[in-house]
Chain A
Amino acid sequence: MENFSTLIGGIAGDGINEAGVTVGRLFSRLGYHIYMYYDYPSLIRGGHNFSLVRASSHKIGTHIDQVDVLIALNQETLEKHKGRLKDSSFVIYDMDKVKAEGQKQKGCGLPVSQILKEEGALPIMRNTCILGGFCKVVGIEWAILEDVLRKHIPKKLEQNLQVARRGYDSAVEFCRVNKLDMSALPIMTGNQAIGLGLIKAGLGAYVAYPMTPSSSLLDFMARSAPDFGLKVVHPENEIAVMLMAQGFAYAGIKAAVGTSGGGFCLMTEGLSLAGMAEMPVVILMGQRTGPSTGLPTYTAQGDLHFILNAGQGEFPRFVVSPGDAEDAYYWAGVALNMAWKYQVPAFILSDKSVSEGQYSFDMAAAGDPREESSLLWKGQGKYNRYQYTDTGVSPLAFPPKKGQVIKADSYAHDEYGITAEEPKITKDMNDKRLLKESSMAKDLEEYETVKVSGQGKTALLFWGSNKGVCCETAEKLGLKTVQVLVLSPFPVKKLKKALEGVEKVIAVECNSTAQLARLAGFFGFKIQDRILKYDGRPFSLNDLEAEVGRVLA
C-alpha cells in the first residue's frame, strides 16, 4: 500500500482548507485516493488551522499521525506538529516567518514573503507559492500543478501561476512520488455528496439557517440552485426552517433542511408536526461536540439518541448515518425516497468529520440513488388526505385540485384531515402511522442497511464517520467490521446475521456513553467492549490501532 501524508498549517485566513484540497487534487492526478481532515478553531482570522491530506493507493477514510511532508506557513505549525515528523520526513516552510534551525529532518525554506513582494502579490498567495515549492520537493511535475491551478483559481490566475512557479524554482527535489495507474477521482466533502445525492433523487427545495458543520451544504445548494431549479431559502431561524420544509411538502415540493444540534433543538416541535401531519422532510443533522455550544468546529457522535427520540409523541422516522462521501451520496437519495414513500421525517445523521472531510468519490462504487415514485392520489372519488390503507401510507395530492380539498392537521384528525378527539380515531390513526414504520422496515430489507467486511470472531461495530478508521484497522489486524448504516427502523435481522459467529464485539464511537452499543443492547445484542473518543477529534489510524491492541491484549 502506497501512502503519503502531507500537513499544511497556518492561521485562519491563510486559505489552509483550499491549500489542502489542492494537495489532494495533485495526488488525485497521480492516481491516488484521498482523505483530508481539516482542523480549525471557531474564529475567522488568526488561530491555528491545518489540513492533513493523506494519499493512498487504496480507498481510505482516515488520517495517520505521522506526516511525510510538513508545510509550515508559520512557526506555530512547526512547533505544534513536530511530533508528527519521522526521521525521513521533510519540512517546507516560509523562511521569512519560520525559524527551522536545529531541525534534524531535511527541510527547505522558501523566500515566500520576498517572492510575493517582488511579484506584487496578495498575502493569500503565500499558499500558492509554497505549494509550488511542495511540488518540486515531492517530484510532482510543474505541468500537473499548472493544470490544477488553471482549473481551480478563479482570480488573478497568471499572477498565481507566476508565484507558484517561483516557489517551484526556489525549492529542491527531495523525493519522487510514484505515479499510480488510476484515473483522477473527484474530491468532495460529505456535505457536497449529500447535496448531490438529494438532487439526484429529486430535491426541489433546501431550507437552512447556517450552523457548523451543516453550513457548507447551504452554500453548496445556494450555488447549485440555478443549475437544478432549486428553491433555496435561508429564513429567520431553525423553527421557520422546519416549518417551511413542510409548507413545501404540502405543496408537493421535495424539501430538505440542514442543521446541527442546537438548531435541531429548535426544530423538534416542527419535527413532531411532521410526524402527526405526515409531512415528508429530510433533515441533515451534522453532529459536533456538545453539549450546548461545545466545540462548534469539532466532531462528535453524541446525538444519536436525541435524533431517535426527538419530538413529542410516537411516530416513525428514518435515520441513516453515512460513513464517507460515497455513503453520503447514495443514502441522502435513499433518505429523500424514504421520506416521500412513507411520508415521514428522514434523517441524514452526519458529523463534522463526514460533513467537512474531503474524500475521493467514485460514483460507480457509491450506487445510484434514483428518484422513486411516491404514492399519488389517482383522482377517483373524494380525496382523503389521511386515508387508511394496508401500508399506512395515504395517497398524496397537492393543491390546487379542482373539486377537492386537501387538509393537513397537527391535531389528531380523521381521514379527511379534520380535528377529531374521539378515542377510536385517535388510536386508529396512531396505528396507521406506526404501520408505516413496519412497511418501511420491510422495504429496507432490500437495502444494505448493515455493511459487513472481513471475517473472524472479533468484530468492530460502528456507525457514521468511524467507517474509514475501523475498516483500515480491521483489515490490518484481521478483524470483521460491521457498519450500521440505518439506525431507524433498526435493522435487527441484518445485524443478527452480521454478528453470527462473532464472540467479541467492540463498539467504536465518538461519544462517551457508547450510544450505538446502548441501542443495540436494547434489541438484545451483547457488546463486549467499547472504544470511545470524545475530545472533539476523530480517531487517527494510530489511535484506533493502539486502542484495539489494548482491548485484545
Chain B
Amino acid sequence: MNPKDLATYAKNTWCPGCGNFSILSAIRTVLAEMDGEGIPIENVVLVAGIGCHAKIVDYMNVNSFYSIHGRTLPVATAIKLANPDLKVICFSGDGDSLAEGLDHLVFAAKRNIDLTLILHDNRVYGLTTGQYTPTSPQGFKGKSTPRGSAELPMNPLELMLVSGATYIARGYTHGLDLLQKLFREAILHKGFSFVDVLQVCVSYFNLYETYNKRTYEVKGNDTGSFEDAMKTIRSWNYDGGETPIPLGKFYQVDLPRFDQVFPGYEQKAVDRDAKISEILENFI
C-alpha cells in the first residue's frame, strides 16, 4: 500500500508550516507499511478529539471516530473492549488530553489498556486562536493570559510514567525518521503507549528555532528502568529556559493489560430466554 492511498478528498485547512503535516505524513507511512505486515488497514480505527490535531482523521482514509474535545480515550477504550483485534490509535492535543480530558488520560494509563495516544503538543490552543495550555511555559502571553500565564507547565510524560503507561516517548515534527520509528513502536506495543510530539503552531507559538537548537535524541538509556526514564523525563520540564530537550523512547515495559484482565465475557449465543427464566425463578 502507498501512503498516498490513505488520503481523502477533504481539503487540508492547517496553516502552511504547521507541524501537523509531519504527523500526518508519518502516520500514513507507518500504517501503509503495517498493512503489508499483518495489520490490515481495515483493522485500524483512529479516534480524535477536537482541535487542530483532530482534523487529521478527515485527512486519513481509515476508519475513524471524530469525537469531542478531550474525549478520545473513552471512545477508544470501548472500541478496543468491543473488538480486541482492532488497532485503536488516538490523536489528541495538549488542551484536549491534558486539560479537558485529563481524567481519561490518567485512567487509560492506569488501566494499561492496549491503545496508542499521539499527543499533538503545540503548547497553545490554536483553533481558538492562542490561549495558554497545560504545557505552555510559565509567563506565556496568550489571549487569556495577556500578562503571562501564572502556572508552571505540566510534564505529561512524568504524569504518564507515574500513572502506569507502559510505553512513553517524545518526538519532534522536524525529524520524520524518529517520528515514524516512535509511532511504529507505540502502535506495536502491547499496553498503553503515549507519544508526546513537539508539534509547532506557526501561527500562535512558533518554537521551531528553540526546538531545532535544543532537542537531541537520547541514546543508551535504560528504557526498562522507571528511575532512568524519570530522570530523562524530568531533565526538561516544558519551561522556557535553555535546558536541552530529550527525544526518543524513554520507557517501555511489558505489564498486564486491562484488555487482558477485563472480564469481557464473549457475547455467547446463550439461550437468553432460558437464563432469564432461571433468574426469574430465583426471584420467587
Interface residues of A (CB under 8 A from B): 25, 28-29, 151, 184-188, 192, 196, 199-200, 204-205, 207, 224-231, 233, 235-237, 239-248, 250-253, 255, 269-270, 273, 277, 361, 363, 399-411, 413, 417-419
- Contacts A186-B284, A227-B275, A410-B50 given; indicate if A251 touches B67 (C-beta within 8 A): no
A-B contact pairs, 23 of them (CB 8 A): A186-B282, A186-B284, A192-B283, A196-B280, A199-B272, A200-B272, A226-B263, A228-B265, A228-B267, A228-B270, A231-B262, A231-B267, A240-B71, A240-B73, A240-B77, A240-B103, A247-B79, A248-B81, A251-B86, A361-B280, A407-B66, A408-B66, A419-B58
Bound complex: CA A348 to CA B184 (Å): 44
- Of B64, B262, B270, the residue contacting A227 (CB under 8 A) is B270
5 new A-B pairs (CB below 8 Å) besides A407-B64, A417-B66? A196-B276, A244-B75, A363-B280, A399-B45, A411-B66
Question: Within 8 Å CB of B63, what residues of A?
Answer: 399-400, 405-407
Bound complex: CA A248 to CA B78 (Å): 5
Bound complex: CA A196 to CA B276 (Å): 7
Question: Within 8 Å CB of A403, what residues of B?
Answer: 42
- Of B57, B86, B265, B284, the residue contacting A28 (CB under 8 A) is B284
Closest residue on chain A to residue B107 by CB atoms: A236
Closest residue on chain A to residue B106 by CB atoms: A236
Question: Within 8 Å CB of A230, what residues of B?
Answer: 265, 267
Which residues from 243 to 267 on chain B have a C-beta closer than 8 Å to any C-beta of chain A?
262-267
Inter-subunit contact B71/A243 (CB<8 Å) = yes
- Of B66, B266, B267, B273, the residue contacting A419 (CB under 8 A) is B66
Bound complex: CA A212 to CA B68 (Å): 28
- Of A151, A184, A273, A418, the residue contacting B8 (CB under 8 A) is A418
B61 interfacial by beta-carbon distance below 8 Å:
yes
Question: Within 8 Å CB of A269, what residues of B?
Answer: 68, 71
Inter-subunit contact B283/A361 (CB<8 Å) = yes
Question: Within 8 Å CB of A192, what residues of B?
Answer: 283
Residues of chain B at interface, number, CB under 8 A: 54
Closest residue on chain A to residue B103 by CB atoms: A236
- Of A237, A244, A406, A407, the residue contacting B77 (CB under 8 A) is A244
Bound complex: CA A226 to CA B264 (Å): 9
B85 interfacial by beta-carbon distance below 8 Å:
yes
Closest residue on chain B to residue A413 by CB atoms: B66
Question: Within 8 Å CB of B77, what residues of A?
Answer: 235, 240, 244, 247
- Contacts A236-B104, A252-B82 given; indicate if A196 touches B279 (C-beta within 8 A): yes
- Contacts A200-B272, A205-B82 given; indicate if A247 touches B76 (C-beta within 8 A): yes
- Contacts A28-B284, A399-B43 given; indicate if A231 touches B82 (C-beta within 8 A): yes
- In the assembled complex, the CB of B101 is this many whole angstroms from the nearest CB of chain A, namely 8
Inter-subunit contact A186/B280 (CB<8 Å) = yes
Question: Within 8 Å CB of A240, what residues of B?
Answer: 71, 73-74, 77, 103-104, 107
Bound complex: CA A244 to CA B262 (Å): 15
B40 interfacial by beta-carbon distance below 8 Å:
yes
Inter-subunit contact B104/A251 (CB<8 Å) = no
Question: Within 8 Å CB of B73, what residues of A?
Answer: 240
Question: Within 8 Å CB of A400, what residues of B?
Answer: 40, 42-43, 63, 85-86
Question: Within 8 Å CB of B226, what residues of A?
Answer: none
Q: Which of B40, B79, B266 has the most CB of A within 10 A?
A: B79
Question: Within 8 Å CB of B68, what residues of A?
Answer: 243, 269-270, 273, 410
Interface residues of B (CB under 8 A from A): 8-10, 40, 42-43, 45, 50, 55, 57-58, 61-68, 71, 73-79, 81-83, 85-86, 103-104, 106-107, 262-268, 270, 272-273, 275-276, 279-284
- The 4 A-B residue pairs with the shortest CB-CB distance, nearest first, are A247-B78, A186-B283, A251-B82, A243-B74
Bound complex: CA A156 to CA B250 (Å): 55
Inter-subunit contact B78/A229 (CB<8 Å) = no
Bound complex: CA A240 to CA B265 (Å): 21
Inter-subunit contact B42/A402 (CB<8 Å) = yes
Bound complex: CA A427 to CA B188 (Å): 42
- In the assembled complex, the CB of B175 is this many whole angstroms from the nearest CB of chain A, namely 29
Inter-subunit contact B78/A207 (CB<8 Å) = yes
- In the assembled complex, the CB of B35 is this many whole angstroms from the nearest CB of chain A, namely 11
Inter-subunit contact B265/A185 (CB<8 Å) = no
Question: Within 8 Å CB of B106, what residues of A?
Answer: 236
Inter-subunit contact A235/B64 (CB<8 Å) = no
Bound complex: CA A403 to CA B67 (Å): 23
- In the assembled complex, the CB of A170 is this many whole angstroms from the nearest CB of chain B, namely 28
- Of B78, B103, B270, the residue contacting A244 (CB under 8 A) is B78
Inter-subunit contact B86/A399 (CB<8 Å) = yes
Closest residue on chain B to residue A184 by CB atoms: B284
Inter-subunit contact B42/A404 (CB<8 Å) = yes
Bound complex: CA A273 to CA B55 (Å): 17
Closest residue on chain A to residue B264 by CB atoms: A231
Inter-subunit contact B78/A273 (CB<8 Å) = no
Bound complex: CA A403 to CA B86 (Å): 15
- In the assembled complex, the CB of A224 is this many whole angstroms from the nearest CB of chain B, namely 7
- In the assembled complex, the CB of A241 is this many whole angstroms from the nearest CB of chain B, namely 8
Bound complex: CA A413 to CA B63 (Å): 15
Closest residue on chain A to residue B80 by CB atoms: A247
- Of B61, B71, B263, the residue contacting A239 (CB under 8 A) is B71
Bound complex: CA A418 to CA B281 (Å): 51
- Contacts A187-B284, A399-B45 given; indicate if A247 touches B65 (C-beta within 8 A): yes
- In the assembled complex, the CB of A144 is this many whole angstroms from the nearest CB of chain B, namely 12
Closest residue on chain A to residue B55 by CB atoms: A419
Bound complex: CA A246 to CA B85 (Å): 18
Inter-subunit contact A405/B62 (CB<8 Å) = yes
Bound complex: CA A400 to CA B45 (Å): 9
Inter-subunit contact A233/B81 (CB<8 Å) = yes
Bound complex: CA A446 to CA B46 (Å): 40
- Contacts A231-B265, A247-B77 given; indicate if A185 touches B284 (C-beta within 8 A): yes
- Contacts A363-B280, A407-B64, A419-B10 given; indicate if A229 touches B82 (C-beta within 8 A): no
